[in-house]
Amino acid sequence: MLRYGLQYISRPLRGALAGIVLLASASAMSVVGADPEVQTDAQRQAAYARLAQQSSELQSHFSTLKDVVRLVRPAVVHIEVVHPGASRPAVARRGSADETGSGVIVEIDGRFYILTNRHLIKFAQPDSITVKLSDGRRITPTRIWQDPATDIAVLAVGSEGLLTARVGNSDEMDIGDFVLAIGSPFGLSHSVTHGIISAKGRRDLELATDGVNYQDFLQTDASINPGNSGGPLVNLRGEVVGINTAIASSSGHNEGIGFSIPANMVMIVARQLIDHGSVTRGYLGVSLDSKFGAAAATQLGLDRPRGAKVTAISPGSPNGVPIEDDNHLVNTVSLTPVGRDVPLVVFRDRKPVQLTVKIAERTP
């Protein structure tokens, strides 16, 4: 379990610019040669012409990124929470003050909602939340829903003329896919950074003490910092594929390891919150061996550790997805609709056996 330096990324407003420094680029001093004083004017003009041509060719390759930013950025919001009686923004984590975060507007069944992180707004009431839109308007949500087990929150908003982002299929993302992160790092709203998907299926992270039990994070090296909490991770189709949630850092700032909740998980949870006010999770009724590893896999006749080892079946307890480990099985079952019959392939007596099981409702 990863424990060291893992933290949420909401951000205090106070001192947001304290660490910013100006950097000069040495390359700008050498575009026309190491010794410009001995160059003729004709040589300099030719160098400028070459740079103009090369720049034009290079910029054409980045036109896709510009289009993605133009599409998604207007749907990204800056979130602040002010507690009653407070004179400045305050939020969320363990009663700390002066924090802000991000969110993204989506449309679900013809209505507008903002997707964000639960840890950002968990102590807030709707009238204590201020949402700043990309056009400068400030609005207040009409209702909020929260799911502590996934750190997902949904804000209902009734304003007109809101621009929304399209939600993509996070299951289609692969390691190495290019992504953009948009949000409010250090209170600097609508900032854009880029990187790749560094890993998938990060499920054994210890996030503060909030008990985020259902994890399936996308890992990215796109620069995300305090204040990016709740902002979208976006693919090159301009689709939201994740909600940025946490970073692994020894300094408290970006070190190239960030984690996003996959969009598919976000939307399943969001729809249940909106429709029912809470999340109903599936239950298979089995006990798992969390220490299942290479030695046990070899003993069972497997070529490598995969799947989850069932050690017991609960009395009276009740899919197409290759199961990687016990946490993956728990997540997959919890997001499967209650009452559905699902095929299950088990490895028994060194042979695969196909069964059909019914998903029951998990009780608290």
Catalytic residue, chosen from 102, 189, 229, 260, is 229
Residue 55: burial class (beta carbons within 10 Å; 0-12, 13-18, 19+): exposed
- Claim to verify: residue 132 and residue 223 sit in the same structural domain: yes
Q: What percent of the chain lies above the pLDDT cut of 70?
A: 64
Helices (H), the chain: 41-61, 63-72, 118-121, 263-276, 294-299, 326-334
Does 28 fall in a domain? no
Q: What is the band of 254 on the pLDDT scale with cuts at 50, 70, 90?
A: confident
Does 29 fall in a domain? no
- Claim to verify: residue 223 and residue 295 sit in the same structural domain: no
Contact (Cβ atoms closer than 8 angstroms) between residue 85 and residue 113: no
- Claim to verify: residue 313 and residue 188 sit in the same structural domain: no
Q: Which domain holds residue 152?
A: 1-14+41-278
- Claim to verify: residue 162 and residue 185 sit in the same structural domain: yes
- Claim to verify: residue 205 and residue 345 sit in the same structural domain: no
Catalytic residue, chosen from 98, 151, 325, 326, is 151
**DSSP state for residue 213 in the 8-state scheme:** -
Each residue's pLDDT tens digit, 81-99: 876 554 443 333 333 434 6
Q: Is 332 helix (H, G, I), strand (E, B) or coil?
A: helix
Least confident segment among 9-13, 179-183, 271-275:
9-13
Residue 301: predicted pLDDT:
66
Indicate which CATH number applies to the domain containing 214.
2.40.10.120
Beta-bridge partners for 232? 243
- Claim to verify: residue 231 and residue 348 sit in the same structural domain: no
Active site residue 229: yes
CB within 8 A of 148, min separation 6: which ones? Answer: 118, 122, 210, 211, 212
**How many domains does the chain fold into?**
2
- Claim to verify: residue 269 and residue 176 sit in the same structural domain: yes
Beta-bridge partners for 4? none
- Claim to verify: residue 221 and residue 252 sit in the same structural domain: yes
Catalytic residue, chosen from 119, 191, 216, 326, is 119
Active site residue 151: yes
Contact (Cβ atoms closer than 8 angstroms) between residue 207 and residue 246: yes
Give the Cα separation of 190 and 183 in Å (integer): 5
The count of C-alpha atoms lying within 13 angstroms of the C-alpha of 83, restricted to the half-sphere facing its C-beta, is: 14
Each residue's pLDDT tens digit, 63-82: 888 999 999 999 999 999 87
Give the Cα separation of 359 and 338 in Å (integer): 5
**Does residue 267 or residue 257 have the better pLDDT?**
267
**DSSP state for residue 204 in the 8-state scheme:** -
Residue 21: predicted pLDDT:
38
- Claim to verify: residue 202 and residue 334 sit in the same structural domain: no
Give the Cα separation of 300 and 278 in Å (integer): 40
Does 19 fall in a domain? no
Each residue's pLDDT tens digit, 278-288: 888 766 655 55
Average pLDDT, the chain: 77
- Claim to verify: residue 312 and residue 273 sit in the same structural domain: no
Does 350 fall in a domain? yes
Q: Which of 229, 245, 278 is the last residue of a domain?
A: 278
Contact (Cβ atoms closer than 8 angstroms) between residue 184 and residue 227: yes
Residue 305 structure tokens: 């550790």
Each residue's pLDDT tens digit, 189-198: 889 999 999 9
Indicate which CATH number applies to the domain containing 356.
2.30.42.10
Active site residue 30: no
Residue 319: predicted pLDDT:
57
Residue 173: predicted pLDDT:
95
